Amino acid sequence: MSDMIPKITAALLPLPISDGSDGVKREGQRRAAVLMPIVMRDDWQVILTQRPETMSNHAGQISFPGGKIEPGESAQEAVLRETWEEIGVEAKDIDLLGRLPSFNAVSEYRVTPYVGIVSPDAQIVPEPCEVAEVFEIPLSFLMNPDNHKPRDIFFDGREHRLYDMPYEEPDGIHRNLWGMTAMMIYRVYQRSFTHEA
């Protein structure tokens, strides 16, 4: 699967957002941006974070670096700033490939997801107030549909199909990717390898 990165890149939207699709869509909503960071080790890996159990929101959850877009900031500027603040990776060490369509999260956020390549030489320094742990999962595992476990939920008056992505690390640690993080990974897979929007 050495051609994964070109396929993913071709499936993403351009970095500039000119149509306002990342803007607030409902009252009380706030804008946010997140990064799916990919890095080459022995093979392509996706960098993920685990939130501290002490956080008031999303405690213990697995997520991508990212957060709220500040006033006067673009989504692209925010995702680079948040990545630096959360895991210490500087903007100069990130090559943004493109983005997924912005979407309304279950929480009160309008989220714009980006995908980028992180330099393997980048120093990863987690901010302990926001990140308990940084770890990596092979991109090939996350892009394999055999590892997407469907789960149907009833929300907002209708059925929704979600996908969980349980992963056993070589040392036996169990990780379960679910919710918004797993959904974004699934969207990257869907756009890149099934040619669905």
Domains of the chain: 4-12+25-193 (3.90.79.10)
CA angle 137, 36, 114 (to 5 degrees): 165
For position 107, what pLDDT does the model report? 74
Model confidence at 1, pLDDT cuts 50, 70, 90, reads very low
Q: Model-level pTM? A: 0.93
d(Cα 14, Cα 25) in Å, to the nearest integer? 21
Closest CA to 34 of 116, 90, 92, 106: 116
Rounded Cα distance between 118 and 173, Å, is 24
pLDDT in tens, 28-80: 899 999 999 999 999 999 999 998 876 555 556 899 999 999 999 999 999 99
Q: Strand, helix or coil at 178?
A: coil
